[in-house]
Chains A and B, each alone.
Chain A
């Protein structure tokens, strides 16, 4: 493989970051600090995960792979819960949703022998599943919370007519699931035409046969559709209860 052989050559791309910083300063976007934090964090995190993955590859132990993926699920749940702010039990809801999505999709890929049970496949695929499920979980959680506050009169009207919490929240749940799934569905529809997905780009640059790259990318896309759907639906069905009492009343914190 040519190029990108040293850390030094990767650091040259910092020049491109400088463009963003100059733009921020020039247009007074006040984003220089954020950009700096993002650059440093991404460098440190990627370098660290690189060494971790390298170490785990060396172990050739599936237990270590599971441990790493478990850690990623917890970090994803924490990130999602922080985004969702005041949603009660957000961490537990996101952890279950992302965890089940990861186990179900990776488990299916392994059971059907679509991918081999090796760290080389499980860690990158798991990372993608967990990352995308986390985004879906955050979107669903925040959307339900915001819509419940905004549409409180409708929810109350439904409850007053004898609707259960589930029946009263159903229209909100539907919209929040749509908002979580549509970006990925659109990306899947336009893939190959408007953009080439990261995994495929990476494989082609790394010298893989483009058709081999496509085969893996198709697996990835379908896997993501499945896992994101699982995560969004689980977040929806688990989280709406947090906003109601068992006696089908909106909780006090849900302000309108």
Chain B
């Protein structure tokens, strides 16, 4: 305290000297008065601080908010070594972020809160749009969801396979067919993923498309990984073009039969009992759709749309 005071007064005296140099009008009496007033003011301020500290000590709150020894030790350690991630100092190095890390391109995964499906974080927003039945195809998907929700709640409660609806695993030949009806499907050598663009996608040739169809539909037991096919971003607007350009055996002559085959396959996954009830018309979703809107066997166009919608499996 004494040291501090002399320091303070030392400084003050210097200040006073400066003023004197500048003004040259102060008499020694005035100078003394200024010093006296300064002294009084300073004394008062110091007294205030003393009272504050005394009060804090008496009330037991002095230094109560200080960091404890344990935390201080952790803090020191984390700054000297790399044992603790909790305290890091800001880095400002070119090419690195504030944490001193190289900006990563690491993939993060997340689980969709809507369908519990595991997917890459970077694809979450487009997935969620479809999954929640919104966006461009919202009304159709939403109406399908409403149509199906009642039944699902009532009779699928205990069904452990419920989730399988949401994991599209096109193991069945018919399902692959359905996908290939809608998308380009050429498997990239680089990513080993199927192209999800439309069948007129300019990146691949018709020859490539034909080759992949031949490959996928003739080889048995070829399992396409769930994550590989990006059904979320795919657009179904071009299915008609596919039929026209590729002369696909099944697609060139879309008949109610071919549709129901596809549908019944997917319904097998859902529920056997249901399946037996709706042998011909496919799964319950399509049933309600058909019954509700057309009261009977669908029109050609209608079948196509339900079929294509089915490939999403967002019901």
Bound pair (A, B): no
- Which B residues lie at the A interface, using CB under 8 A? none
